[in-house]
Chain A
Amino acid sequence: MTRTRKPGISRRSTLALMGAGAATLAAPWVARAQAKTIKIGMPTILSGRVAQLGTSSRNAVMLEVEKVNAAGGLAGRQIEMVIRDSKGQPQEAARIARELVNTDGCEMLLDGEASSGSFAVHEVARDLGVLCIHTCSEASSLTADPKQHIPNAFRCVRQGIHDSIVGAGYAAGIAKAKGLKKWATCSPDYAYGRDTTGEFVLYLKKFAPDVEIISESWPKLFQPDYTEVVTKILQAKPQAMYSCLWGGDLTSYIDQANIYALFTQMEVFAVNMADYTALTVVKNLPKGIHSGDRYIKTFPATPENAAWGDAYKAKYNEYPTNWSWQNATAVMFLNEAVKKANSTDGKKVAEVLTGLTIKCPFGADGTVTMRADDRTLVGYAIGWGTTIPQEPYVPDVKAGDWKTIFELEAEWKKSKGYT
């Protein structure tokens, strides 16, 4: 008689599952039993199309929190992260943020939400007065708009406006050198895509006045088929193209545009290309795409940055994303601020955080600053380079100049009526 294994879950795995389930259920009580822990809540997106945003943010936070805890915690209190999935819905983000503070007893929030969700969590921070650091939302208005200013909310994220200024400066240099006058744009049709592209074009024309936009395409966010967009651009015969498509949209676009050999016919500037999530997914990454840095372990080219990227890879078996470094930086900021304030009191920490400069592997000069007047991150490594199909993917990144960024950002804020 032959014994066949029945399909389904084996007894052993059932026991393992039950064990894991019991451990998960017991975890909060075990944690509660440990005295003096400090809970930090984090609403983020762990499911759906941009789940990678949440998982890579969570990974980075845990990586840093483990270091802080191993070194004695925040002012002697071990950190316990409470991370929940908002599914990318603002009403869920608001609900979870409130619940984390009101019910779970979290004393601080790391807001790992994108776009509308971050604005919803911001309102919760305004309402409850809890210390909150946004770690994923790149929308400039989140901190540039004075209506959004509250003393307890900070943003530890790169910004669309910074990317546009640096990108346009870099692109203008190449446009002048290669005589690229006819440009096309192709960006997702929502606020981020429209704003970032508009700002890029504005500064490109400022730096290289004879540039002309001859074709604009606005594919829908999460559009699966880009054939019409690609053919439209090819028909317009531009010399260069700018795009702020990102993630899966960008990789689909590149795979589909490759079929039409688009990349051999024009210079392509894709600000969100140089992120491992995009670089490693594209089937045939064309050589010579110009991109802004998202996260690359070779930029800034310091041993600290490389070590951090490798440590992340060793722990999670994948490279970090742009969201990862931002979240890691937020934990570093908290750690430093608590040390300086010698307290975990949200108000005191917020006071120290305002204007704080810390050492950081992702800083342009080895440090990053939480700018005092709008409580947002500046001084992070920002630059542009061209791709190659294998590691290190973007071998030579030209760093942007923060002095120029500050000048033009101030002008931009004025033009928007923010200052």
Chain B
Amino acid sequence: MTELQAGQGAQPLEVPRIDARPQRYRDVLIALAAFALLALLPFIFGSKQLLDFVIRCAAYGLFATSLNLLVGYTGLISFGHGMFFGLGAYGFGLMMQKTGVAIPVAFVATLAMTFVVAVVIGAICVRLKEIYFAFVTLAFQMLIHSTILSWQSLTGGDQGLRGGIPRPPFLGIDLSNHLHLYITSCALLVIGLFLMRQIAQSPFGYTLRMIRDNATRASFIGIDVWRAKLTIFVLAALFAATGGMIMALFVSGAYPEFAYWTISGEGIFINMLGGVTTFLGPMVGTMLFLILNDTVTRLTEYHGIVLGIVILFFAIGLRKGLMDFAVEWFAQRRGEGRG
């Protein structure tokens, strides 16, 4: 039987179109509420440490959530995602130091530069599968890290960008004021998460899940797997670069460690902690990771052992991230309640 004959006998399939708008409105509301809550925090608690914590959460959270778009949604385990975090920090820092343009211009220009680099690297990497993809991304990361170290005249080598990042005020926002930096970081975080959520919930997001589950099948039904993978690789890179820019503003500089493999490793670690099956898993993982890091390094210099035990607990004990566990637990309880 040919395809045509098969088609003749079959009834046209009615695909119910789900209106995505109500969910989007809900997401907008949640995002606004989250932003309002974050913006109120400094007025409720006077702690500067809390502000620093949230700013770092924004940088790492955007980075980790964007990594989850690759790891959790598309099944692309990238070991080199940190390169875009580093690129964002360096691109933005250099732009501000060398050109003196307005901050939004530097922000957009950095994203544009990241876009170009991510397209080139992604076009090579996403052709590969699994471990090969992981290792080629790692190789590119090390290439970028080495370039930063060697290109001393531009990047300052291992000493990083010296002399601080200038922050001329724009539209009434002065990022050298810590409160302004905090609010801006929160805004970037919430907008970034909102956009990533829309990507994850879009038909494109579901295409990614399909590629993750069965790439061959996806390509048989006419999906250009390579193009879809490249698109998400580039999009994830843009969000990671945004995280890098927040970090550059926080430390007022950019350092080669931002583009080192350990940053990518931390991203994977955060995803394992928080879980990769829920959208907010990496965000929860980020908070958990930073709280753990901050408290454990305060108490002991053998923090490596403690963090190692924690990750073992998640990997062997829970066998999933915290959010995955919580979601399953709630689902189970609800099931029991009904039963």
Q: Give the contacts of A318-361 with B (CB-CB under 8 A).
A: none
Cβ-defined contact, A98 with B255, below 8 A: no
**Counting CB contacts under 8 A, is A95 at the interface?**
yes
Main secondary structure of the interface of B (DSSP, over half): helix
Picked from B152, B257, B304, the residue with its CB within 8 Å of the CB of A89 is B257
Write the B150-181 contact mask toward A (1 if CB under 8 angstroms, else 0).
Answer: 10100011111011100000000000100000
**B75 adjacent to chain A (CB < 8 Å):** no
Most buried by A among B252, B258, B304: B252
Which residues from A are CB-within-8-Å of B256? 116
Measured between beta carbons, the chain A residues less than 8 angstroms from B298 are 84
Size band of the interface chain B makes with A: 35 or more
- CB of B336 within 8 A of chain A? no
Q: Name the one of A98, A147, A148 contacting B52, with C-beta atoms under 8 angstroms.
A: A98
B255 CB contacts on chain A under 8 angstroms: 90-91, 116, 119-120
**A123 within 8 Å of B (CB atoms):** yes
Q: Give the one of A46, A103, A123, A145 with max B CB within 10 A.
A: A123
C-alpha gap A139/B158 in the complex (Å)? 10
Question: Closest CB of chain B to A187's CB: distance in Å?
Answer: 13
B5 located at the interface, meaning its Cβ lies under 8 Å from any Cβ of chain A in the complex: no
Whether A87 and B159, one on each chain, are in contact in the complex, defined by CB atoms closer than 8 angstroms, is no
Residues of B near A127 (CB, < 8 A) are 176, 252
Q: Is B301 a contact of A47 with CB atoms below 8 Å?
A: yes
Q: Which residues of chain B are within 8 angstroms of A191 by Cβ–Cβ distance? A: 149, 152, 156-159
Complex-state Cα separation, A95 to B160, whole angstroms: 17
Q: How far is the CA of A96 from the CA of B262 in the complex (A)?
A: 19
Given contacts A84-B298, A95-B56, A103-B49, A115 and B258 within 8 Å (CB-CB): no
A399 to B171, CA, bound (A): 58
The interface residues of chain A, by DSSP majority, are classed as: helix
Query: What separation, in Å, do the CA atoms of A84 and B164 have in the docked complex?
Result: 23
A24 and B299 contacting across the interface, CB-CB below 8 Å: yes
Q: For window 127-171 of chain A, which residues contact chain B by CB distance below 8 Å?
A: 127, 139, 141-142, 145, 147-148
Interface bits A45-60 vs B (CB < 8 Å: 1, else 0): 0110001000000000
| Closest CB in chain A relative to B41 CB, distance in Å | 15
Smallest CB gap from A188: residue in B: B158
Picked from B158, B253, B304, the residue with its CB within 8 Å of the CB of A192 is: B158
List 17 additional A-B contacts (Cβ < 8 Å) besides A47-B303, A85-B303, A119-B159.
Answer: A24-B299, A90-B255, A91-B56, A91-B250, A91-B251, A95-B52, A95-B294, A98-B52, A102-B52, A103-B48, A103-B49, A115-B158, A119-B255, A120-B251, A189-B150, A190-B149, A191-B157
Q: What are 13 A-B contacts with C-beta separation under 8 Å? A: A85-B297, A85-B301, A90-B251, A90-B253, A91-B257, A95-B294, A98-B48, A116-B160, A119-B255, A120-B255, A123-B253, A127-B252, A147-B163
Q: Which 4 A-B pairs have the closest CB atoms?
A: A147-B163, A191-B157, A102-B48, A123-B252
